[in-house]
C-alpha cells in the first residue's frame, strides 16, 4: 500500500474529548491524516503487534484499568501474548488513549499534545 510521506495515521475514539483533541492536533502536523476509529476499523492482531512494537509497550499498557468492563472481564486473569492481542481486537473501547503513527514512529496520546512528539520541528508555545 502506498502512503504519502507526510501521512499521519491516528487510531482513536471520536466519542472522547481526548480523541477529538488529538485528532485536531494531528492536522497541525500534516494535512494528510488517515483517521481510524477503534469501533469501526477492523484491527487485526498483526496490526496490534506492529503498533505495540512501535510504541514499545505491552498490550495491557494500552487498556483503561479503571473501566468497569476491564475489572469484570480482564482483571485477575492471566493471558498469553495472543490473548492480550485478542482483547485489544475485541474490546477496543477499553483503550485509554489515541495512538498516532507517522514515519514509522508511534506515540500513545494520553494527552492530546503528545502527538506533537511525532514531529520534533513543532514547538509548543507556553502561556503564562
pLDDT tens digit sequence for 52-81: 999 999 999 999 999 999 999 999 898 999
Whether residue 83 is predicted with pLDDT greater than 90 in this model: the reply is yes
21, 12 in Cβ contact below 8 A? no
pLDDT above 70 covers what percent of the chain?
Answer: 90
How far apart are alpha carbons 95 and 63 in whole angstroms? 5
- The DSSP secondary-structure symbol of 105 reads E
Instruction: Please indicate whether residue 115 or residue 5 has the higher confidence score (pLDDT).
Output: 115
Give the DSSP letter of residue 61. G
pTM for the full predicted model: 0.88
Distance between CA 45 and CA 98 in Å, rounded?
A: 17
In CATH terms, is domain 8-117 a member of 3.40.30.10? Answer: yes
pLDDT grade, residue 123 (50/70/90)? low
Q: Cα 29 vs. chain centroid, distance in angstroms?
A: 16
Listed in sequence order, the residues at least 6 apart from 86 whose beta carbon sits closer than 8 Å to its beta carbon are 45
Amino acid at each position: 500500500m502506498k502512503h504519502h510521506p507526510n501521512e499521519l495515521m491516528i487510531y482513536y475514539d471520536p466519542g472522547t474529548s481526548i480523541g477529538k483533541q488529538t485528532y485536531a492536533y494531528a492536522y497541525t502536523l500534516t494535512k494528510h491524516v488517515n483517521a481510524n476509529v477503534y469501533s469501526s476499523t477492523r484491527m487485526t492482531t498483526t496490526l496490534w503487534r506492529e503498533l505495540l512494537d512501535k510504541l514499545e509497550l505491552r498490550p495491557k499498557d494500552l487498556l483503561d484499568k479503571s473501566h468497569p468492563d476491564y475489572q469484570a472481564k480482564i482483571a485477575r486473569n492471566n493471558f498469553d501474548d495472543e490473548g492480550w492481542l485478542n482483547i485489544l481486537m475485541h474490546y477496543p473501547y477499553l483503550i485509554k488513549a489515541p495512538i498516532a503513527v507517522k514515519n514509522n514512529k508511534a506515540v500513545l496520546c494520553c494527552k492530546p499534545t503528545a502527538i506533537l512528539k511525532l514531529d520534533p520541528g513543532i514547538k509548543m508555545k507556553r502561556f503564562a
